Amino acid sequence: MCAMHLVRFCRPYPGLINKEVKVINTWSSHTASTSTVVRNDRSLPSEIKPFSAVPGPKGLYNVPFIGAALHFKPFTKYTANEINDLLTDMRKKYGDIFKIKFGKDYMVYINHPDDAKTILQAHYEVHKRISFDLSETLAEREKVNKGLILLNGKEWADLRKPTQEKMLRPAVVASYVPLIEKVTNDFVDNLKKKKQVDDLLWELNNYTIESVGMLCFNKRLGCLDEGTNSPAEVAVALRNIFDMLQKSFFMPLKMYLYFKTPFYKRFEQEGRKFMEVVSTETAIQNEFLTKLKKEGKLEEYLENEPNFMYSLLADGRLSEDQISSVVSDLFGAGIDSTANTLVFLLAQLALNPDKQAKLYDEIQQVVGNSRHLTKEHLAKMSYLKACLKESHRKIFPISFGVLRILESDLVVGGYQMPKNTVLAINNRSMAMDDRFYYRPTEFLPERWLRETTGDIAKSKEFPFAHKPFGFGPRACIGQRFAENEIFIAATKIVKNFHVSMPSDVKEIKTTLKIFTTPSEKIKMNFLERQ
Ligand code: HEM
């Protein structure tokens, strides 16, 4: 065992500090106040226990491949799309840390923020992502370059570095505000005509395709044009792709790795539809840029509009093939993620009219009669930001939570986790845990405001309980773009409409398709404000 591991063993792990502590509320913008809180009520093993002692289902459940099948229908009431319910039951039975065998390896579920912190702050060099073997098999069979989502180690870092420089810089993000605003104005105009929608997710899918299309291809793809009532084919393909990925993850026998099974063939068909759109649009964008360059008009064009693909081409560190794979990943990851987030945010506001009224007041105060939204407006809207954070907490957006594969041994919650252990941070379960959140079942954006103190602000004690965009070098690369898009859409929609749902709807039922998504169509009324 190396010296670093010994140091880890000797260090008292965070959860051992299990007593009343004085906490300075440094988040108060006015005066720092002191309050006494019970930080958590964990009971941890008094000495470090081996991995074999991590609790979890016993017996047949631990037989490689077959064991996983026993957790799902027809043996239980759960399907792969409802794995969250299975995990909630296991959390109740086994506690803050438990392990389940999926395939041939264990996956360890983490339900305490102290442990989430230990894992997310551990040292990683390869930053290996858990295998989406269905997508990997498709990429290999179709001879398509893998992108940010599938690559690891140096190949991933070579793509990530230049892309991140272009995507996460505040100035770049800000330059997209006017472009997204135009897309949002068209969406709002459509809502004014419709007044009511029967399937909010599909409407928002068309909106997010248009927004992320502006980032990836600098082009409007026509999904919001008059007469386009059906969702774009690419959105349908993506929905099916994510559903199949979710299912493939928990399949006991993955025959598609060896043969083109009917399940694989359906995935291939949807994958090809998606890739067709991306390669067509990428080629058009390339042609457009080459033409402008030949005509000597490129500089002038770039002065007026940001162009993400051009900035990657001009950077010189990535080949055209690598750029295509980056654009493909951004387009694929950017549509359903943001559309679902917006559905749930609007639904929470509809179910909580008092919070909607408060948000409307903030919008009126900050934006008033300005014709355009600016990054300065967005920066001032703290209640809007709190609404998004709270909506993500109540309905956690990612099916698996944030996953990490250990690159060296690590003590987590009193257990010795060996190198290569797969750990899943179960933010969804922490979100409903009253050790970390005051009245966790309620939609209370106030809990996130800087000026909030006392019990309601308990969540601020546990930042690692809530990581909807992940953490560290492998965190969501689209976070800033997504937040901008969500803030602009929510601001414009709430400014223009009072949103409501049919009176018999009291809660939103969800299912998991990589992203959390409504299990039934969501109807929404958009009553124009006078
Ligand atoms: C509300 C919307 C979104 C949520 C909740 C979300 C969440 C996440 C999460 C949790 C991860 C994994 C982070 C980790 O392991 O630490 C991730 C990765 C990623 N996201 Fe997002 N995301 C969203 C929107 C977007 C958008 C709009 C884009 C593209 C424009 C995008 C592109 C990506 C990509 C490419 C990765 C993989 C990054 C890598 O492995 O280097 N996401 N996202």
Cα(384)–Cα(47) distance, integer angstroms:
45
pLDDT of 6 > 80? The answer is no
State yes or no: cis peptide before 440, omega within 30 of 0: no
Q: Is 149 in the pocket of ligand 1 (CB under 6 A)?
A: yes
Tell me if 476 is assigned to a ligand binding site: yes
Q: Decide if 301 is inside a domain.
A: yes
* Dihedral angle of Cα 405, 406, 410, 412, to the nearest 10 degrees: -10
Query: Which one of 467, 490, 513 terminates a domain?
Result: 467
- On whether both 256 and 345 belong to a single domain, the answer is yes
Cα–ligand 1 centroid distance for 51 (angstroms): 30
Higher pLDDT, residue 192 or 249? 192
User: CA quadruple 346, 352, 355, 356: dihedral positive or negative?
Assistant: positive
Q: Is 160 in the pocket of ligand 1 (CB under 6 A)?
A: yes
pLDDT digits (tens, 9 = 90+) for 139-153: 999 999 999 999 999
The protein residue whose alpha carbon is closest to atom 9 in ligand 1 is 469
Cα–ligand 1 centroid distance for 16 (angstroms): 33
pLDDT for the residue 38: 36
Write out the two tokens for 437.
Answer: 């959140």
Q: Is 204 in the pocket of ligand 1 (CB under 6 A)?
A: no
pLDDT for the residue 231: 58
pLDDT for the residue 33: 30
Cα–ligand 1 centroid distance for 370 (angstroms): 32
Task: Average the pLDDT over 109-126 and give the result.
Answer: 97
Q: Which residues contact 127 (CB under 8 A, 6 or more apart)?
A: 152, 153, 156, 157, 473, 474
- On whether both 299 and 333 belong to a single domain, the answer is yes
Give, in degrees to the nearest 5, the angle at Cα 428 between 29 and 338: 75
Q: Which CATH number does the domain housing residue 321 bear?
A: 1.10.630.10
Q: Is 402 in the pocket of ligand 1 (CB under 6 A)?
A: yes
pLDDT of 86 > 50? The answer is yes
pLDDT for the residue 362: 98
* Among candidate residues 307, 142, 314, the one with its CA nearest the CA of residue 216: 307
Q: Is 148 in the pocket of ligand 1 (CB under 6 A)?
A: yes
Task: Average the pLDDT over 164-188 and give the result.
Answer: 91
Which of 309, 404, 467, 469 has most ligand 1 atoms within 8 Å of its beta carbon, as the pocket-test mutant?
Answer: 469
Q: Decide if 38 is inside a domain.
A: no
pLDDT for the residue 45: 66
Q: Is 401 in the pocket of ligand 1 (CB under 6 A)?
A: no
* Among candidate residues 194, 181, 255, the one with its CA nearest the CA of residue 228: 194
pLDDT of 32 > 50? The answer is no
Q: Decide if 494 is inside a domain.
A: yes
**Total of domains in the chain:** 2
Query: Which one of 467, 496, 517 terminates a domain?
Result: 467
Q: Which CATH number does the domain housing residue 121 bear?
A: 3.30.43.20
Cα–ligand 1 centroid distance for 338 (angstroms): 10
- On whether both 176 and 128 belong to a single domain, the answer is no
Backbone φ and ψ of 60, nearest 5°: -55, -30
Q: The pTM is what?
A: 0.90
Report residue 187's pLDDT band, with 50, 70 and 90 as the boundaries.
very high
- On whether both 184 and 277 belong to a single domain, the answer is yes
pLDDT for the residue 22: 29
Closest ligand 1 atom to residue 127 Cα is 40
User: CA quadruple 269, 271, 277, 279: dihedral positive or negative?
Assistant: negative
Task: Average the pLDDT over 253-258 and give the result.
Answer: 93
Q: What is the residue range of 74's domain?
A: 48-139+399-467
Measure Cα distances from 426 to 66, 111, 322, 441 in Å: 24, 5, 33, 17
Cα–ligand 1 centroid distance for 398 (angstroms): 9
Task: Average the pLDDT over 171-188 and give the result.
Answer: 92
The protein residue whose alpha carbon is closest to atom 36 in ligand 1 is 476
Cα–ligand 1 centroid distance for 334 (angstroms): 8
pLDDT digits (tens, 9 = 90+) for 271-293: 999 999 999 999 998 898 889 88
User: Of 40-44, 336-340, 522-526, where does mean pLDDT reach its minimum?
Assistant: 40-44
Report residue 316's pLDDT band, with 50, 70 and 90 as the boundaries.
confident
Q: Is 337 in the pocket of ligand 1 (CB under 6 A)?
A: yes
How many CA atoms lie within 13 Å of 482's alpha carbon, on the beta-carbon side? 22
Report residue 253's pLDDT band, with 50, 70 and 90 as the boundaries.
confident
User: Of 143-157, 169-183, 442-456, 496-510, where does mean pLDDT reach its minimum?
Assistant: 169-183
Average pLDDT, the chain: 88
